[in-house]
Amino acid sequence: MELGLAGRRALVTGAGKGIGRGTVQALHAAGVQVVAVSRTRADLDSLVRECPGVEPVCVDLGDWEATERALGNVGPVDLLVNNAGVALLQPFLEVTKEAYDTSFNVNLRAVIQVSQIVARGLIARGAPGSIVNVSSQASQRAITNHSVYCSTKGAMDMLTKAMALELGPHKIRVNTVNPTVVMTSMGQANWSNPQKAKTMLDRIPLGKFAEVENVVDIILFLLSDRSSMTTGSAVPVDGGFLAS
């Protein structure tokens, strides 16, 4: 399926690793001009070597003022992928203020801030746009030791619906993808214990975790005009987990 993305300009957060990096690579291959945002300079440097022409921006999205300085004048952006996220796992009775603040600042507040920057630019230009927020199956199912993470992703799903409602009249679509465990470095670190992994795999009808490209394919579809009648939706990439 030809997605017709060539010639557009996209911004991808959390671009240094995993789903974000895979998204940048796929967009670059599709002829999209990409602004890649990461807090890790070394990851951006290697990404630019792999994908010449990608515009790197190094910033910690948990810092509101630094993010405004880094992205406030980013220029015209047609497509946005809010992928940056942290997963700080703690038993509920041991959740710390620091883990709460960091998780919500990066996983939710930064989505609001970056989306405001992009949406205001689109509206000022009178241009249509598409925003994809990378959520999780954890937005809809509780997982042990994930109370804060689940909360951020549940909030992201509802934020997406509210954004879709308010931005739709401006021809800006907003959707989420909701993956199961994805075999990124973060996914491998959090699910390397075979016993822990089995408890999740036993609930996935397809019997496996997702690969990065499984999620990237859905992100690109939602960014493209092929999904022009889809907004406010949460698209599972979960092997059937949410159906079980």
Q: What is the mean pLDDT of the chain?
A: 96
Residue 187, pLDDT score: 82
Contact between 107 and 154 under an 8 Å Cβ cutoff? The reply is no
Contact between 196 and 181 under an 8 Å Cβ cutoff? The reply is no
Please give the average per-residue pLDDT across 31-51, as a whole number. 98
Q: Could you give the CA distance from residue 162 to residue 166 in angstroms, rounded to a whole number?
A: 6
Angstrom CA distances, 16 to 24, 56, 143, stand at: 9, 10, 26
Q: Could you give the CA distance from residue 91 to residue 12 in angstroms, rounded to a whole number?
A: 31
pLDDT at 186 over 80: no
- Top-level CATH class of 9-183+211-235? alpha beta
pTM for this structure? Answer: 0.96
Residue 185, pLDDT score: 80
Contact between 5 and 222 under an 8 Å Cβ cutoff? The reply is no
Contact between 149 and 138 under an 8 Å Cβ cutoff? The reply is yes
Contact between 67 and 84 under an 8 Å Cβ cutoff? The reply is no
Which residue numbers are catalytic? 149, 153
pLDDT at 54 over 90: yes
Please give the average per-residue pLDDT across 172-178, as a whole number. 98
SS3 label, residue 158 = helix
Contact between 11 and 37 under an 8 Å Cβ cutoff? The reply is yes
